[in-house]
Amino acid sequence: MLWNLFEVAVQVGLLYVPLVLGIYLAMGVMSLPDLTLQGSFGIGGSVAAVLAVHGHHPVVGLLAAMAAGAACGLVTATLHLLLRLNVLLASILVATAAYSVCLVVMSSGNLSLAGAKTAFSWADGTDLSFRTATIVTGGGVALVLSVAFLWFLRTEYGLSLVAAGQNIQTARGLGVRTERRQAAGLAVANALGALTGGLVVHNQGFMDVTIQNGVIVIALAAMMVGLTLTRSPRVGPTVAMLVVGVVVYRFAVAGALQLGLNPNLLQLITAGLVIAMIGVRSHARATLRSATAAGRRDRRVAQARFYEEDRVASFI
């Protein structure tokens, strides 16, 4: 049973690797609370589904899905940079609008891909099972994107993007056009989210407009699991653990459902898992040190410093 659960976790988890990398780029690298990824996931799925039904090559459909997702990211960047809207508010607006865009693209709330050629149809003439074909395809996509992601962040442009996310004032002082970096980063992140949407739709054989609901929390949970597994400041181990985190999260979900967990509680438990992972990363070491008087003093000082430095940015 454990091996079967592991196969299911790998099969589903690898398809979500692009989305997790996109969330890590937006929130972890650029420090932008971008929720557009939820809308990009849905738009990517709808575009890929429509093109598959109309007989286009699966690669064309996935590339078009990525372009549509990148466009969503650029819309969020435009609202943020030109109208000076808070990124969170701008992304909520775009994600909300994306729901209607999905309905317009599909001309309905759902669309079946029965008989259409998908990214996994290459295995139809072989002895490979559908699960194996999914793992091979998802693994190939995850590997290529992970290598490309590492290469991108190590380029001069990628390093300037990282600098803009860590300290935007310093980056501007060094002559970095941070507004362009933010726009490009949001476009890339949402293109990755749309790719996952396309892959998931191709894999399950239908597109339903509701599949995007809650996908941000799922990807955040997978990301936090991966980040908890490593403390390395280097990008390579971090990206590797993000991939592992997706599989671990899907394994936990599959195991919980196998043990009889009420599916209606899945989103609640996922949200709780995100909170728990953040708590472990932020407070586990300090909690252990609280056993000593010096540790308790340091924790009070850190908490007081947080209260003093905490600022609530204008929402609009």
Query: CA-CA-CA-CA torsion for 122, 126, 128, 132, nearest 10 degrees?
Result: -10
The C-alpha atoms of residue 52 and residue 68 are separated, in whole angstroms, by 15
Strands (E) located in 123-253: 206-208
Which 8-state DSSP code applies to residue 233?
-
The tokens describing 19, both together, are: 């989305």
- Residue 288 confidence (pLDDT): 67
Q: How many residues does the chain have?
A: 316
173-185: burial string, b at 16+ Cβ within 10 Å, e else: eeebebeebbbbb
- Residue 287 confidence (pLDDT): 67
The C-alpha atoms of residue 303 and residue 306 are separated, in whole angstroms, by 5
- Residue 5 confidence (pLDDT): 79
Beta bridge partners of 110: 208
- Residue 249 confidence (pLDDT): 85
pTM: 0.87
The tokens describing 225, both together, are: 């699991």
The C-alpha atoms of residue 280 and residue 221 are separated, in whole angstroms, by 13
Which residue in 52, 26, 57, 312 sits closest to 193, CA to CA?
26
DSSP structure string for 235-288? HHHHHHHHHHHHHHHHHHHHHHHHTT--GGGHHHHHHHHHHHHHHHHHHHHHHH
Q: Show me where the domains of the chain are located.
A: 1-211
Q: Can you give the pLDDT of all 316 residues of the chain as single tens digits?
A: 677 778 888 888 899 999 999 999 998 888 888 899 999 999 999 999 999 999 899 999 999 999 999 999 999 999 988 888 888 899 999 999 999 999 999 988 888 888 889 898 888 878 888 888 999 999 999 999 999 999 998 888 888 888 887 777 777 777 777 788 888 899 999 999 999 999 999 999 899 888 888 888 888 888 888 888 887 778 888 888 999 989 888 888 888 777 777 778 877 877 887 787 777 777 666 666 666 777 778 777 777 776 665 555 554 5
